[in-house]
Chain A
Protein backbone atom coordinates (compact mmCIF):
# COMPACT_ATOMS: atom_id res chain seq x y z
CA UNK A 1 0.00 0.00 0.00
CA UNK A 2 1.27 3.47 -0.83
CA UNK A 3 1.57 5.99 1.95
CA UNK A 4 -1.44 7.95 0.67
CA UNK A 5 -3.69 4.90 0.66
CA UNK A 6 -2.49 4.02 4.12
CA UNK A 7 -3.42 7.48 5.40
CA UNK A 8 -6.83 7.24 3.73
CA UNK A 9 -7.71 3.93 5.29
CA UNK A 10 -6.49 5.03 8.73
CA UNK A 11 -8.60 8.21 8.56
CA UNK A 12 -11.61 6.34 7.17
CA UNK A 13 -11.46 3.75 9.98
CA UNK A 14 -11.23 6.51 12.58
CA UNK A 15 -14.20 8.48 11.19
CA UNK A 16 -16.32 5.33 10.88
CA UNK A 17 -15.56 4.23 14.41
CA UNK A 18 -15.90 7.62 16.11
CA UNK A 19 -18.58 9.46 14.19
CA UNK A 20 -20.52 6.91 12.10
CA UNK A 21 -20.90 3.85 14.31
CA UNK A 22 -22.82 1.15 12.45
CA UNK A 23 -22.09 2.56 8.98
CA UNK A 24 -20.81 0.25 6.25
CA UNK A 25 -17.34 1.28 5.03
CA UNK A 26 -18.43 1.55 1.36
CA UNK A 27 -20.76 4.44 2.23
CA UNK A 28 -17.81 6.62 3.17
CA UNK A 29 -16.01 7.37 -0.09
CA UNK A 30 -12.76 9.30 -0.48
CA UNK A 31 -14.78 12.13 -2.00
CA UNK A 32 -17.68 12.13 0.51
CA UNK A 33 -18.12 15.65 1.90
CA UNK A 34 -17.50 15.39 5.61
CA UNK A 35 -18.11 18.88 6.97
CA UNK A 36 -20.58 20.30 4.45
CA UNK A 37 -22.75 17.16 4.54
CA UNK A 38 -23.07 17.05 8.31
CA UNK A 39 -20.75 14.13 9.15
CA UNK A 40 -18.20 16.18 11.09
CA UNK A 41 -19.41 18.99 13.35
CA UNK A 42 -16.99 21.42 14.96
CA UNK A 43 -16.22 19.16 17.93
CA UNK A 44 -15.74 16.12 15.70
CA UNK A 45 -13.40 18.16 13.49
CA UNK A 46 -11.26 19.09 16.51
CA UNK A 47 -11.09 15.44 17.55
CA UNK A 48 -10.10 14.42 14.04
CA UNK A 49 -7.34 17.05 13.99
CA UNK A 50 -5.98 15.77 17.32
CA UNK A 51 -6.05 12.23 15.98
CA UNK A 52 -4.28 13.15 12.73
CA UNK A 53 -1.59 15.15 14.55
CA UNK A 54 -0.88 12.33 16.93
CA UNK A 55 -1.16 9.41 14.53
CA UNK A 56 0.99 10.91 11.75
CA UNK A 57 3.21 12.95 14.05
CA UNK A 58 2.54 16.26 12.29
CA UNK A 59 1.34 19.68 13.44
CA UNK A 60 -1.52 21.38 11.61
CA UNK A 61 -1.69 25.17 11.46
CA UNK A 62 -4.90 26.70 12.82
CA UNK A 63 -5.97 27.74 9.29
CA UNK A 64 -5.59 24.16 8.10
CA UNK A 65 -8.30 22.86 10.40
CA UNK A 66 -11.35 23.90 8.41
CA UNK A 67 -13.44 22.64 5.51
CA UNK A 68 -10.90 23.89 2.93
CA UNK A 69 -8.49 21.17 4.04
CA UNK A 70 -10.57 18.58 5.86
CA UNK A 71 -13.80 18.22 3.88
CA UNK A 72 -12.95 14.92 2.21
CA UNK A 73 -10.71 11.95 2.94
CA UNK A 74 -8.91 12.84 -0.31
CA UNK A 75 -8.05 16.34 0.86
CA UNK A 76 -7.04 15.11 4.33
CA UNK A 77 -4.64 12.61 2.74
CA UNK A 78 -3.16 15.36 0.54
CA UNK A 79 -2.71 17.59 3.58
CA UNK A 80 -0.99 14.86 5.59
CA UNK A 81 1.24 14.02 2.62
CA UNK A 82 2.29 17.66 2.20
CA UNK A 83 3.29 17.74 5.87
CA UNK A 84 5.28 14.51 5.92
CA UNK A 85 7.21 14.98 2.68
CA UNK A 86 9.36 17.77 4.06
Chain B
Protein backbone atom coordinates (compact mmCIF):
# COMPACT_ATOMS: atom_id res chain seq x y z
CA UNK B 1 0.00 0.00 0.00
CA UNK B 2 0.90 3.64 -0.39
CA UNK B 3 2.55 4.48 2.94
CA UNK B 4 1.80 8.19 2.66
CA UNK B 5 -1.89 7.53 2.10
CA UNK B 6 -2.95 6.71 5.65
CA UNK B 7 -5.77 8.07 7.80
CA UNK B 8 -3.49 8.66 10.81
CA UNK B 9 -1.22 10.85 8.68
CA UNK B 10 -4.10 13.31 8.25
CA UNK B 11 -3.73 13.95 11.97
CA UNK B 12 0.08 14.09 11.80
CA UNK B 13 0.06 16.67 9.01
CA UNK B 14 -2.49 18.91 10.73
CA UNK B 15 -0.61 18.56 14.03
CA UNK B 16 2.48 19.95 12.26
CA UNK B 17 0.70 22.70 10.35
CA UNK B 18 -1.75 23.86 13.01
CA UNK B 19 -0.76 22.30 16.36
CA UNK B 20 -2.86 24.69 18.44
CA UNK B 21 -6.12 24.35 16.51
CA UNK B 22 -8.78 22.46 18.45
CA UNK B 23 -8.95 19.00 16.89
CA UNK B 24 -11.76 17.53 18.95
CA UNK B 25 -14.19 19.06 21.41
CA UNK B 26 -16.73 17.41 23.69
CA UNK B 27 -18.81 20.49 24.59
CA UNK B 28 -18.84 21.28 28.29
CA UNK B 29 -16.50 18.36 29.01
CA UNK B 30 -13.10 18.40 27.37
CA UNK B 31 -11.14 19.16 24.23
CA UNK B 32 -7.77 18.37 22.64
CA UNK B 33 -5.66 20.48 20.29
CA UNK B 34 -4.07 18.80 17.26
CA UNK B 35 -0.71 18.60 19.06
CA UNK B 36 -2.37 17.05 22.12
CA UNK B 37 -4.42 14.57 20.09
CA UNK B 38 -1.27 13.51 18.22
CA UNK B 39 0.56 13.03 21.54
CA UNK B 40 -2.23 11.00 23.19
CA UNK B 41 -2.66 8.87 20.07
CA UNK B 42 1.10 8.19 20.09
CA UNK B 43 0.95 7.12 23.74
CA UNK B 44 -1.94 4.76 22.98
CA UNK B 45 -0.10 3.37 19.94
CA UNK B 46 2.98 2.70 22.10
CA UNK B 47 0.86 1.02 24.80
CA UNK B 48 -0.79 -1.21 22.17
CA UNK B 49 2.57 -2.22 20.71
CA UNK B 50 3.88 -2.98 24.19
CA UNK B 51 0.79 -5.15 24.73
CA UNK B 52 1.68 -7.16 21.64
CA UNK B 53 -0.47 -5.50 18.97
CA UNK B 54 1.17 -5.84 15.56
CA UNK B 55 0.45 -4.58 12.04
CA UNK B 56 -2.84 -5.95 10.74
CA UNK B 57 -4.14 -6.92 14.20
CA UNK B 58 -7.65 -5.86 15.15
CA UNK B 59 -8.35 -3.72 18.22
CA UNK B 60 -11.90 -3.33 19.54
CA UNK B 61 -13.42 -0.12 20.88
CA UNK B 62 -16.30 -0.47 23.33
CA UNK B 63 -16.81 2.88 25.07
CA UNK B 64 -19.01 5.96 24.95
CA UNK B 65 -17.93 8.70 22.59
CA UNK B 66 -15.29 11.03 24.09
CA UNK B 67 -12.06 12.80 23.16
CA UNK B 68 -10.40 9.64 24.51
CA UNK B 69 -12.15 7.33 22.06
CA UNK B 70 -11.15 9.61 19.18
CA UNK B 71 -7.53 9.42 20.41
CA UNK B 72 -7.91 5.62 20.64
CA UNK B 73 -9.00 5.42 17.00
CA UNK B 74 -5.93 7.36 15.87
CA UNK B 75 -3.71 5.42 18.29
CA UNK B 76 -4.88 2.11 16.85
CA UNK B 77 -4.34 3.33 13.27
CA UNK B 78 -0.90 4.68 14.20
CA UNK B 79 0.01 1.23 15.53
CA UNK B 80 -0.94 -0.02 12.02
CA UNK B 81 -3.78 -2.05 13.49
CA UNK B 82 -7.47 -1.85 12.46
CA UNK B 83 -10.15 -0.57 14.82
CA UNK B 84 -13.42 -2.41 15.41
CA UNK B 85 -15.94 -0.07 17.08
CA UNK B 86 -19.10 -1.48 18.67
CA UNK B 87 -22.19 0.00 20.31
CA UNK B 88 -21.29 0.02 24.02
CA UNK B 89 -24.99 -0.04 24.94
CA UNK B 90 -25.63 -3.22 22.93
CA UNK B 91 -26.00 -6.58 24.72
CA UNK B 92 -22.56 -7.86 25.84
CA UNK B 93 -23.28 -11.12 24.05
CA UNK B 94 -23.47 -9.36 20.66
CA UNK B 95 -20.29 -7.34 21.22
CA UNK B 96 -18.40 -10.41 22.45
CA UNK B 97 -19.44 -12.24 19.28
CA UNK B 98 -18.03 -9.41 17.15
CA UNK B 99 -14.73 -9.24 19.06
CA UNK B 100 -14.27 -12.99 18.81
CA UNK B 101 -15.33 -13.13 15.17
CA UNK B 102 -12.46 -10.88 14.07
CA UNK B 103 -10.20 -12.08 16.88
CA UNK B 104 -9.30 -8.70 18.36
CA UNK B 105 -5.93 -8.64 20.13
CA UNK B 106 -6.91 -5.82 22.47
CA UNK B 107 -9.91 -3.67 23.39
CA UNK B 108 -10.10 -0.01 24.38
CA UNK B 109 -12.95 0.12 26.89
CA UNK B 110 -13.80 0.86 30.52
CA UNK B 111 -13.55 -1.50 33.51
CA UNK B 112 -17.33 -1.59 33.81
CA UNK B 113 -17.94 -2.42 30.14
CA UNK B 114 -15.15 -5.01 30.12
CA UNK B 115 -17.05 -6.88 32.83
CA UNK B 116 -20.05 -7.11 30.47
CA UNK B 117 -17.99 -8.72 27.71
CA UNK B 118 -17.23 -12.46 27.41
CA UNK B 119 -19.43 -13.06 30.48
CA UNK B 120 -16.52 -11.59 32.45
CA UNK B 121 -14.58 -14.84 31.87
CA UNK B 122 -11.17 -13.19 32.16
CA UNK B 123 -10.12 -13.80 28.55
CA UNK B 124 -9.01 -10.14 28.50
CA UNK B 125 -6.92 -8.46 31.21
CA UNK B 126 -6.26 -4.76 31.79
CA UNK B 127 -2.80 -3.85 30.51
CA UNK B 128 -2.88 -0.05 30.63
CA UNK B 129 -4.90 3.02 31.50
CA UNK B 130 -5.39 5.80 28.94
CA UNK B 131 -4.40 9.23 30.27
CA UNK B 132 -6.10 12.24 28.67
CA UNK B 133 -4.97 15.81 29.48
CA UNK B 134 -7.58 17.77 31.50
CA UNK B 135 -10.09 14.91 31.43
CA UNK B 136 -9.65 13.01 34.68
CA UNK B 137 -13.15 11.55 34.57
CA UNK B 138 -12.48 9.48 31.45
CA UNK B 139 -11.65 6.01 32.66
CA UNK B 140 -10.55 4.34 29.43
CA UNK B 141 -8.41 1.24 29.71
CA UNK B 142 -6.62 -1.05 27.31
CA UNK B 143 -7.50 -4.70 27.84
CA UNK B 144 -5.41 -7.35 26.15
CA UNK B 145 -6.25 -10.93 25.24
CA UNK B 146 -4.70 -13.25 27.82
CA UNK B 147 -4.17 -16.23 25.51
CA UNK B 148 -3.86 -14.74 22.04
CA UNK B 149 -4.28 -17.14 19.14
CA UNK B 150 -3.05 -16.50 15.67
CA UNK B 151 -5.92 -15.77 13.31
CA UNK B 152 -6.46 -18.27 10.51
CA UNK B 153 -7.96 -15.47 8.42
CA UNK B 154 -5.67 -13.65 6.03
CA UNK B 155 -5.80 -9.93 6.70
CA UNK B 156 -5.95 -7.70 3.63
CA UNK B 157 -3.12 -5.15 3.46
CA UNK B 158 -3.98 -1.64 4.62
CA UNK B 159 -7.00 -2.72 6.68
CA UNK B 160 -8.09 0.36 8.70
CA UNK B 161 -11.39 -0.56 10.31
CA UNK B 162 -14.19 -3.12 10.38
CA UNK B 163 -17.78 -1.94 10.82
CA UNK B 164 -20.26 -4.66 11.74
CA UNK B 165 -23.74 -4.41 10.26
CA UNK B 166 -26.87 -6.48 10.69
CA UNK B 167 -26.59 -9.91 9.06
CA UNK B 168 -29.52 -11.87 7.62
CA UNK B 169 -28.34 -15.14 9.20
CA UNK B 170 -28.56 -13.63 12.68
CA UNK B 171 -24.85 -12.92 13.01
CA UNK B 172 -23.56 -9.40 12.33
CA UNK B 173 -21.11 -9.22 9.44
CA UNK B 174 -17.91 -7.19 9.37
CA UNK B 175 -17.42 -4.71 6.51
CA UNK B 176 -13.68 -4.20 5.95
CA UNK B 177 -12.34 -0.87 4.75
CA UNK B 178 -8.74 0.11 4.12
CA UNK B 179 -7.03 3.46 4.52
CA UNK B 180 -7.34 3.81 0.73
CA UNK B 181 -11.08 3.03 0.49
CA UNK B 182 -11.85 5.52 3.27
CA UNK B 183 -9.60 8.19 1.74
CA UNK B 184 -11.26 7.86 -1.68
CA UNK B 185 -14.42 9.14 0.02
CA UNK B 186 -12.68 11.63 2.32
CA UNK B 187 -10.76 13.20 -0.59
CA UNK B 188 -13.98 13.59 -2.57
CA UNK B 189 -15.61 15.30 0.44
CA UNK B 190 -12.74 17.78 0.57
CA UNK B 191 -13.16 18.67 -3.10
CA UNK B 192 -16.93 18.97 -2.92
CA UNK B 193 -17.43 20.71 0.44
CA UNK B 194 -14.24 22.80 0.48
CA UNK B 195 -13.81 22.76 4.25
CA UNK B 196 -11.44 25.15 6.01
CA UNK B 197 -9.74 25.13 9.41
CA UNK B 198 -12.57 27.34 10.66
CA UNK B 199 -15.19 24.65 10.07
CA UNK B 200 -16.76 22.86 12.99
CA UNK B 201 -18.04 19.41 12.05
CA UNK B 202 -20.71 17.62 14.02
CA UNK B 203 -19.95 14.06 15.07
CA UNK B 204 -23.45 12.81 15.77
CA UNK B 205 -23.30 9.23 14.48
CA UNK B 206 -21.68 6.67 16.78
CA UNK B 207 -18.27 5.43 15.60
CA UNK B 208 -19.66 1.99 14.70
CA UNK B 209 -21.91 3.68 12.12
CA UNK B 210 -20.32 4.58 8.76
CA UNK B 211 -21.46 8.21 8.86
CA UNK B 212 -18.60 8.66 11.35
CA UNK B 213 -16.01 8.32 8.55
CA UNK B 214 -16.88 11.79 7.23
CA UNK B 215 -17.17 13.22 10.76
CA UNK B 216 -13.73 11.97 11.84
CA UNK B 217 -11.45 12.26 8.84
CA UNK B 218 -12.65 15.19 6.74
CA UNK B 219 -11.99 17.73 9.55
CA UNK B 220 -8.60 16.07 10.19
CA UNK B 221 -7.57 16.82 6.63
CA UNK B 222 -8.09 20.56 7.14
CA UNK B 223 -7.13 21.28 10.74
CA UNK B 224 -10.83 21.81 11.47
CA UNK B 225 -12.70 20.86 14.67
CA UNK B 226 -14.76 17.75 15.41
CA UNK B 227 -17.61 18.58 17.80
CA UNK B 228 -18.53 15.36 19.57
CA UNK B 229 -22.16 14.71 20.34
CA UNK B 230 -22.34 11.84 22.81
CA UNK B 231 -24.80 8.98 22.34
CA UNK B 232 -27.09 10.20 25.14
CA UNK B 233 -27.18 13.87 24.13
CA UNK B 234 -27.56 12.85 20.53
CA UNK B 235 -30.93 11.24 21.25
CA UNK B 236 -32.32 14.22 23.18
CA UNK B 237 -33.65 16.92 20.83
CA UNK B 238 -34.04 19.37 23.71
CA UNK B 239 -30.31 19.18 24.44
CA UNK B 240 -29.27 18.82 20.82
CA UNK B 241 -30.87 21.99 19.41
CA UNK B 242 -29.05 24.40 21.77
CA UNK B 243 -25.84 22.37 21.37
CA UNK B 244 -25.84 22.81 17.57
CA UNK B 245 -26.44 26.55 18.04
CA UNK B 246 -23.99 27.33 20.86
CA UNK B 247 -21.21 25.07 19.52
CA UNK B 248 -21.56 27.01 16.26
CA UNK B 249 -21.50 23.85 14.17
CA UNK B 250 -20.93 24.70 10.49
CA UNK B 251 -21.24 21.24 8.90
CA UNK B 252 -23.92 18.88 10.19
CA UNK B 253 -24.24 15.20 9.25
CA UNK B 254 -26.84 12.74 10.54
CA UNK B 255 -29.72 10.50 9.58
CA UNK B 256 -33.02 12.17 8.65
CA UNK B 257 -34.59 10.55 11.73
CA UNK B 258 -32.77 12.79 14.20
CA UNK B 259 -33.52 15.87 12.08
CA UNK B 260 -37.21 14.96 12.27
CA UNK B 261 -37.00 14.60 16.05
CA UNK B 262 -35.25 17.98 16.30
CA UNK B 263 -38.07 19.67 14.43
CA UNK B 264 -40.78 17.87 16.38
CA UNK B 265 -39.40 17.95 19.93
CA UNK B 266 -36.37 20.28 19.95
CA UNK B 267 -38.07 23.66 20.47
CA UNK B 268 -35.94 24.77 17.54
CA UNK B 269 -37.16 28.37 17.36
CA UNK B 270 -35.31 29.30 20.56
CA UNK B 271 -31.83 29.24 19.03
CA UNK B 272 -29.56 30.85 16.44
CA UNK B 273 -28.11 28.51 13.81
CA UNK B 274 -26.47 31.14 11.60
CA UNK B 275 -23.11 29.32 11.66
CA UNK B 276 -24.52 26.28 9.79
CA UNK B 277 -23.44 26.21 6.16
CA UNK B 278 -23.91 22.57 5.11
CA UNK B 279 -26.38 19.90 6.22
CA UNK B 280 -25.73 16.34 5.06
CA UNK B 281 -28.07 13.48 5.62
CA UNK B 282 -27.82 9.81 4.76
CA UNK B 283 -28.98 6.36 5.74
CA UNK B 284 -32.64 6.49 4.80
CA UNK B 285 -35.29 8.33 2.83
CA UNK B 286 -36.08 11.85 4.11
CA UNK B 287 -39.83 12.39 3.50
CA UNK B 288 -40.50 15.77 1.76
CA UNK B 289 -42.91 16.90 4.49
CA UNK B 290 -40.16 16.66 7.12
CA UNK B 291 -37.52 18.21 4.85
CA UNK B 292 -39.79 21.21 4.43
CA UNK B 293 -40.42 21.48 8.18
CA UNK B 294 -36.66 21.50 8.84
CA UNK B 295 -36.04 24.22 6.26
CA UNK B 296 -38.38 26.54 8.13
CA UNK B 297 -35.80 26.62 10.93
CA UNK B 298 -32.72 26.13 8.76
CA UNK B 299 -33.40 27.94 5.46
CA UNK B 300 -29.82 28.97 4.69
CA UNK B 301 -27.50 25.88 4.58
CA UNK B 302 -26.78 23.79 1.49
CA UNK B 303 -28.42 20.38 1.77
CA UNK B 304 -26.76 17.19 0.57
CA UNK B 305 -28.34 13.74 0.41
CA UNK B 306 -25.42 11.29 0.59
CA UNK B 307 -26.12 7.71 -0.49
CA UNK B 308 -24.15 4.53 -0.06
CA UNK B 309 -24.32 1.30 1.90
CA UNK B 310 -21.55 0.84 4.51
CA UNK B 311 -19.86 -1.38 1.91
CA UNK B 312 -19.24 1.60 -0.41
CA UNK B 313 -18.82 4.58 1.95
CA UNK B 314 -20.73 7.19 -0.06
CA UNK B 315 -21.07 6.42 -3.78
CA UNK B 316 -23.71 8.92 -4.97
CA UNK B 317 -24.74 12.38 -3.80
CA UNK B 318 -27.52 14.82 -4.50
CA UNK B 319 -27.47 18.54 -3.80
CA UNK B 320 -31.03 19.03 -2.63
CA UNK B 321 -32.22 22.36 -3.98
CA UNK B 322 -35.92 21.67 -4.34
CA UNK B 323 -38.16 19.70 -2.01
CA UNK B 324 -40.98 17.79 -3.73
CA UNK B 325 -44.58 18.52 -2.62
CA UNK B 326 -45.67 17.03 0.71
CA UNK B 327 -48.01 14.54 -0.95
CA UNK B 328 -45.29 13.31 -3.37
CA UNK B 329 -45.26 9.52 -3.25
CA UNK B 330 -42.73 8.74 -5.98
CA UNK B 331 -39.09 7.72 -5.68
CA UNK B 332 -36.64 10.30 -4.32
CA UNK B 333 -33.35 11.16 -6.02
CA UNK B 334 -30.03 9.93 -4.62
CA UNK B 335 -28.08 11.94 -7.17
CA UNK B 336 -25.04 11.06 -9.22
CA UNK B 337 -21.91 8.98 -8.69
CA UNK B 338 -19.02 10.34 -6.56
CA UNK B 339 -15.89 9.28 -4.60
CA UNK B 340 -14.27 8.35 -7.92
CA UNK B 341 -16.57 5.35 -8.21
CA UNK B 342 -18.37 3.91 -11.22
CA UNK B 343 -21.91 2.58 -11.24
CA UNK B 344 -24.09 0.40 -13.42
CA UNK B 345 -27.72 -0.68 -13.21
CA UNK B 346 -28.45 -4.36 -13.81
CA UNK B 347 -31.93 -5.75 -14.45
CA UNK B 348 -33.36 -9.01 -13.14
CA UNK B 349 -32.04 -10.90 -16.18
CA UNK B 350 -28.50 -9.75 -15.47
CA UNK B 351 -28.44 -7.27 -18.36
CA UNK B 352 -27.57 -3.58 -18.13
CA UNK B 353 -30.90 -1.82 -17.57
CA UNK B 354 -32.01 0.77 -20.12
CA UNK B 355 -32.20 4.37 -18.95
CA UNK B 356 -35.49 4.94 -17.19
CA UNK B 357 -36.01 1.27 -16.24
CA UNK B 358 -35.54 -0.43 -12.89
CA UNK B 359 -32.49 -2.41 -11.89
CA UNK B 360 -30.05 -3.10 -9.08
CA UNK B 361 -27.40 -0.44 -8.45
CA UNK B 362 -23.89 -1.91 -8.63
CA UNK B 363 -20.74 -0.02 -7.69
CA UNK B 364 -17.02 -0.36 -8.32
CA UNK B 365 -14.13 1.94 -7.51
CA UNK B 366 -11.94 3.43 -4.86
CA UNK B 367 -14.42 3.72 -2.00
CA UNK B 368 -15.81 0.15 -2.20
CA UNK B 369 -14.98 -2.17 0.72
CA UNK B 370 -12.29 -4.84 0.66
CA UNK B 371 -14.93 -7.46 1.55
CA UNK B 372 -16.61 -9.01 4.59
CA UNK B 373 -14.37 -10.37 7.34
CA UNK B 374 -14.03 -14.14 7.03
CA UNK B 375 -17.20 -14.72 5.01
CA UNK B 376 -16.02 -16.13 1.67
CA UNK B 377 -19.52 -17.28 0.68
CA UNK B 378 -21.01 -13.86 1.45
CA UNK B 379 -18.25 -12.18 -0.54
CA UNK B 380 -18.93 -14.44 -3.49
CA UNK B 381 -22.59 -13.33 -3.46
CA UNK B 382 -21.93 -9.66 -2.74
CA UNK B 383 -19.63 -9.07 -5.70
CA UNK B 384 -19.96 -9.85 -9.38
CA UNK B 385 -16.99 -9.81 -11.72
CA UNK B 386 -17.72 -8.77 -15.31
CA UNK B 387 -16.06 -9.99 -18.52
CA UNK B 388 -13.40 -7.26 -18.21
CA UNK B 389 -12.43 -8.50 -14.75
CA UNK B 390 -14.01 -5.53 -12.96
CA UNK B 391 -15.45 -6.43 -9.54
CA UNK B 392 -18.85 -4.82 -8.89
CA UNK B 393 -20.46 -4.60 -5.45
CA UNK B 394 -24.17 -5.41 -5.65
CA UNK B 395 -25.98 -2.96 -3.36
CA UNK B 396 -29.35 -4.75 -3.37
CA UNK B 397 -30.93 -1.32 -3.86
CA UNK B 398 -33.30 -0.92 -6.80
CA UNK B 399 -32.85 2.33 -8.74
CA UNK B 400 -33.78 4.02 -12.01
CA UNK B 401 -31.23 6.15 -13.84
CA UNK B 402 -32.63 9.20 -15.61
CA UNK B 403 -31.27 10.84 -18.74
CA UNK B 404 -29.02 13.21 -16.76
CA UNK B 405 -27.14 10.51 -14.82
CA UNK B 406 -29.20 10.93 -11.67
CA UNK B 407 -30.48 7.90 -9.79
CA UNK B 408 -33.91 7.56 -8.22
CA UNK B 409 -34.20 5.19 -5.26
CA UNK B 410 -36.93 2.52 -5.62
CA UNK B 411 -36.41 0.29 -2.58
CA UNK B 412 -34.75 -3.02 -1.70
CA UNK B 413 -34.52 -6.45 -3.27
CA UNK B 414 -34.20 -8.39 -0.01
CA UNK B 415 -35.37 -8.44 3.61
CA UNK B 416 -33.33 -5.49 4.84
CA UNK B 417 -35.13 -2.43 6.18
CA UNK B 418 -33.85 0.89 7.49
CA UNK B 419 -34.74 2.11 10.91
CA UNK B 420 -33.52 5.49 12.09
CA UNK B 421 -30.96 5.17 9.33
CA UNK B 422 -29.62 1.85 10.62
CA UNK B 423 -29.78 -1.34 8.60
CA UNK B 424 -31.92 -4.05 10.07
CA UNK B 425 -32.00 -7.55 8.60
CA UNK B 426 -35.33 -9.07 9.54
CA UNK B 427 -33.50 -12.41 9.59
CA UNK B 428 -31.30 -11.19 12.46
CA UNK B 429 -34.39 -10.43 14.55
CA UNK B 430 -35.83 -13.88 13.77
CA UNK B 431 -32.57 -15.54 14.74
CA UNK B 432 -32.43 -13.68 18.07
CA UNK B 433 -36.02 -14.67 18.90
CA UNK B 434 -35.43 -18.26 17.79
CA UNK B 435 -32.56 -18.54 20.28
CA UNK B 436 -35.05 -18.33 23.17
CA UNK B 437 -35.85 -21.85 24.46
CA UNK B 438 -39.61 -21.22 24.63
CA UNK B 439 -39.92 -19.83 21.12
CA UNK B 440 -40.31 -22.68 18.66
CA UNK B 441 -40.45 -20.42 15.63
CA UNK B 442 -40.42 -16.72 14.83
CA UNK B 443 -41.37 -14.83 11.67
CA UNK B 444 -40.71 -11.10 11.27
CA UNK B 445 -42.11 -8.74 8.65
CA UNK B 446 -41.89 -5.01 8.01
CA UNK B 447 -44.88 -2.98 6.89
CA UNK B 448 -44.95 0.66 5.80
CA UNK B 449 -46.08 3.10 8.47
CA UNK B 450 -47.14 6.67 7.83
CA UNK B 451 -45.58 8.00 11.01
CA UNK B 452 -42.36 6.08 11.58
CA UNK B 453 -41.67 4.91 8.02
CA UNK B 454 -41.66 1.23 8.84
CA UNK B 455 -43.31 -0.93 11.47
CA UNK B 456 -41.64 -4.23 12.44
CA UNK B 457 -44.06 -7.02 13.38
CA UNK B 458 -42.97 -10.29 14.96
CA UNK B 459 -45.03 -13.47 15.06
CA UNK B 460 -43.93 -16.22 17.42
CA UNK B 461 -44.98 -19.78 18.12
CA UNK B 462 -44.57 -20.38 21.87
CA UNK B 463 -43.98 -23.80 23.41
CA UNK B 464 -44.13 -22.79 27.07
CA UNK B 465 -47.05 -23.43 29.37
CA UNK B 466 -48.28 -19.89 29.80
CA UNK B 467 -48.43 -17.60 26.77
CA UNK B 468 -46.00 -14.66 27.10
CA UNK B 469 -47.16 -11.06 27.37
CA UNK B 470 -45.97 -8.46 24.87
CA UNK B 471 -43.88 -7.03 27.71
CA UNK B 472 -42.18 -10.44 28.09
CA UNK B 473 -41.50 -10.66 24.36
CA UNK B 474 -40.07 -7.14 24.20
CA UNK B 475 -37.73 -8.09 27.03
CA UNK B 476 -36.62 -11.25 25.20
CA UNK B 477 -35.88 -9.18 22.09
CA UNK B 478 -34.04 -6.51 24.10
CA UNK B 479 -31.72 -9.15 25.60
CA UNK B 480 -30.23 -10.11 22.24
CA UNK B 481 -30.77 -7.18 19.90
CA UNK B 482 -29.86 -3.52 19.51
CA UNK B 483 -32.63 -1.14 20.60
CA UNK B 484 -33.56 -0.11 17.06
CA UNK B 485 -34.12 -3.77 16.08
CA UNK B 486 -36.79 -4.51 18.71
CA UNK B 487 -40.12 -5.23 16.97
CA UNK B 488 -42.96 -2.71 17.41
CA UNK B 489 -45.65 -5.36 17.45
CA UNK B 490 -45.78 -8.95 18.66
CA UNK B 491 -48.36 -11.67 18.14
CA UNK B 492 -48.34 -15.19 19.57
CA UNK B 493 -49.68 -17.92 17.26
CA UNK B 494 -50.16 -21.67 17.77
CA UNK B 495 -48.04 -22.25 14.71
CA UNK B 496 -46.74 -20.05 11.93
CA UNK B 497 -48.32 -20.32 8.46
CA UNK B 498 -46.37 -22.36 5.89
CA UNK B 499 -46.23 -22.45 2.11
CA UNK B 500 -46.75 -25.68 0.16
CA UNK B 501 -42.99 -26.22 0.26
CA UNK B 502 -43.07 -25.89 4.06
CA UNK B 503 -41.39 -22.50 4.15
CA UNK B 504 -42.54 -19.70 6.37
CA UNK B 505 -45.38 -17.96 4.49
CA UNK B 506 -44.59 -14.27 4.80
CA UNK B 507 -47.51 -13.40 2.52
CA UNK B 508 -49.92 -14.97 5.02
CA UNK B 509 -48.19 -13.18 7.90
CA UNK B 510 -48.86 -9.89 6.11
CA UNK B 511 -52.56 -10.68 6.01
CA UNK B 512 -52.72 -11.24 9.78
CA UNK B 513 -53.77 -8.30 11.97
What residues of chain A have their CB less than 8 Å away from a CB belonging to chain B? Answer: 20-24, 27-28, 32-33, 36-39, 41-43, 46, 49-50, 62, 65-66
Contact = CB atoms under 8 A, between A and B. Distances in A.
A62 B478 contact: no
Give 10 nearest A-B pairs by CB, closest first.
Answer: A38-B478, A27-B469, A37-B475, A38-B474, A23-B470, A38-B486, A42-B235, A62-B239, A27-B471, A62-B238
A66 B470 contact: no
22 contacts: A20-B470, A20-B471, A21-B489, A22-B491, A23-B469, A23-B470, A24-B469, A27-B470, A27-B472, A33-B475, A37-B474, A37-B475, A38-B477, A38-B481, A39-B474, A42-B235, A42-B261, A46-B261, A49-B265, A62-B239, A65-B236, A66-B232
B297 interface: no
Interface of B: 232, 235-239, 261, 264-265, 420, 452, 469-472, 474-475, 477-478, 481, 483-484, 486, 489, 491
Contacts of A27: 469-472
Given A20-B470, A23-B471, A41-B486, A36 B478 contact: yes
Given A42-B235, A66-B232, 7 more contacts: A23-B471, A37-B471, A37-B474, A37-B475, A38-B475, A38-B477, A43-B452
A10 to B, nearest CB: 19
B447 to A, nearest CB: 14
Contacts of A39: 471, 474
The B interface, classified by DSSP as helix, strand, loop or mixed, is helix
A46 B483 contact: no
B290 to A, nearest CB: 13
Most buried by B among A38, A43, A65: A38
A32 B478 contact: no
Contact of A28 (B265, B471, B478, B483): B471
Contacts of A41: 483-484, 486
A68 B129 CA distance: 28
A38 B470 CA distance: 11
Contact of A37 (B236, B239, B478, B484): B478
A37 B420 CA distance: 19
A32 B473 CA distance: 13
B42 to A, nearest CB: 36
B261 to A, nearest CB: 6
A62 B230 CA distance: 14
A53 to B, nearest CB: 10
Contacts of A24: 469
Contact of B483 (A20, A21, A38, A49): A38
A39 B475 CA distance: 8
Nearest to A60: B238
A12 to B, nearest CB: 12
B325 to A, nearest CB: 26
B478 A42 contact: no
Contacts of A46: 237, 261, 264-265
